[in-house]
Structure 1
Amino acid sequence: MIHSSWGGTIIEAWMSREALTPFSIYTAAIEKSNAQMHRKSMRRIWQNGIASPNSRIR
């Protein structure tokens, strides 16, 4: 018996958004990821404002 499996990750995990954009199958996943990134950055801006209200946002 020959066992030839190899652990690893899917290739999409190593590809940039730009590389995946032409493939319509990834459109929903890219949009969801963009929305999550936007929420995280907005949360970070809000938290930074709370942590140091006298600092200026650049």
Structure 2
Amino acid sequence: MAAPAGGGGSAVSVLAPNGRRHTVKVTPSTVLLQVLEDTCRRQDFNPCEYDLKCPWAV
């Protein structure tokens, strides 16, 4: 879910499998794979084992 962040940018909030939320700052050119990799790196997960899902598109 995109939401305004400080500085006029946007951010995506990711709910990780461990129940923690991680907010990733994004730009119009940010690739979704970057969001997944950043979230997994911070949560110490292997990004090859996870996918991003939109709750309204399931």
Between 1 and 2, higher relative CO (CA 8 Å, sep ≥ 6) is seen in: 2
TM superposition score normalised by structure 2:
0.28
More strand by share: 2
TM superposition score normalised by structure 1:
0.28
More helix by share: 1
